[in-house]
A and B are shown apart, each in its own frame.
Chain A
Amino acid sequence: EVQLLESGGGLVQPGWSLRLSCTASGFTFSNYAMTWVRQAPGKGLEWVSTISGGGNSKYYADSVRGRFTISRDNSKNTAYLEMHTVRAEDTAIYYCAKDLYSGSQLGGGFDYWGQGTLVAVSS
C-alpha cells in the first residue's frame, strides 16, 4: 500500500525558515518524481515544486523560486521542502504527491497524496 506522510509544519515567524519532510512507502521511491502542492485556507490548489526521481532535476513555481529548495534522499525514501524567508502568503497546507508515471513521461497526474502538513506564518 502506497503511503505518504508529511511532517515538519507548524507556526513560524515571517522571515524564518522551515523544513518539511515527506516519507514514502509502498513503492520504489527512486523511480518517481515527487511534488509539493499547497493550499491556502479556503483557497484552491497551487503547485509548488517537483523533483525528478534521481533528484537531478528540480522545478519551482515563480512564487517560491529562490526561497524554497526541494530535495530528496532516496536511501531514506524521503522528499524535503526547505522553506526560507517565509511570508504570510506561504501559509497553507502543504501536500506531497507522487507522480502517476515513473521516469520523465509527460502527462499523468498525481496518484497518491499525503494528508498534508499545515504551515502558518505569523508574528
Chain B
Amino acid sequence: ETVLTQSPDTLSLSPGERATLSCRASQSVSSYLAWYQQKPGQAPRLLIYDASNRATGIPARFSGTGSGTDFTLTISSLEPEDFAVYYCQQRSNWLWTFGQGTKVEIK
C-alpha cells in the first residue's frame, strides 16, 4: 500500500499570503495524484488532478506540481474562502489512498 504523508499538519497564514502544502508518497505514483479541499460540514472538492491539472471551476491561484514521490499544492494568494483542510490522494491501479490532511488556518 502506498502511504501519503502531508506536511505540515497545520499551516497558519494570513489572507493574501502564499500557501505551500506538501505531499510525499512512500513509492512512486507517477503523476496520479489529486488534491481536494474540504470545508467543515461539506463534502471534499476536487482541486487538482494528475498532479498539475486544475479541475473545472477551480481558480488559477491553485496550482499543483510534482511527480514520482514529491508533490506540492500552492495557493498563490490566500482568499478568505481558502481556509480549509486539504487532502492529497493517489491511485495505484484500483487502490486509492489519502494523505492525513493539512489544515490551513487563519493566523
Residues in B with CB closer than 8 Å to A26 are none
Name the residue on B nearest A113 (C-beta): B43
Q: Does B27 contact A (CB under 8 A)?
A: no
Residues in A with CB closer than 8 Å to B46 are 100, 109-111
Q: Does B55 contact A (CB under 8 A)?
A: yes
Q: Does A116 contact B (CB under 8 A)?
A: yes
Q: Which of B38, B46, B97, B99 gathers most chain A CB within 10 Å?
A: B46
Q: Does A50 contact B (CB under 8 A)?
A: yes
Name the residue on A nearest B100 (C-beta): A44
Q: Does B71 contact A (CB under 8 A)?
A: no
CA distance A49 to B32 in the complex (A): 18
Contact B50 A45 (CB under 8 A): no
CA distance A118 to B46 in the complex (A): 21
Stretch of B11-19, B76-84, B87-95 that contacts chain A: B87-95
Provide a sorted-by-A list of 23 A–B residue pairs whose CB atoms are within 8 angstroms.
A44-B87, A44-B98, A45-B36, A45-B87, A45-B101, A46-B98, A47-B89, A50-B96, A59-B94, A95-B43, A95-B44, A100-B55, A106-B32, A106-B91, A107-B49, A107-B50, A108-B49, A109-B36, A109-B46, A110-B44, A110-B46, A111-B55, A115-B43
Q: Taking beta carbons and an 8 Å cutoff, which residues of A are in contact with B?
A: 35, 37, 44-47, 50, 57, 59, 61-62, 95, 100, 106-111, 113-116
Additional A-B contacts beyond A100-B46, A109-B49 (17; CB < 8 A) = A45-B36, A45-B44, A45-B89, A45-B98, A47-B95, A47-B96, A47-B98, A50-B96, A59-B94, A59-B95, A61-B95, A106-B32, A107-B30, A109-B36, A113-B44, A115-B43, A116-B43
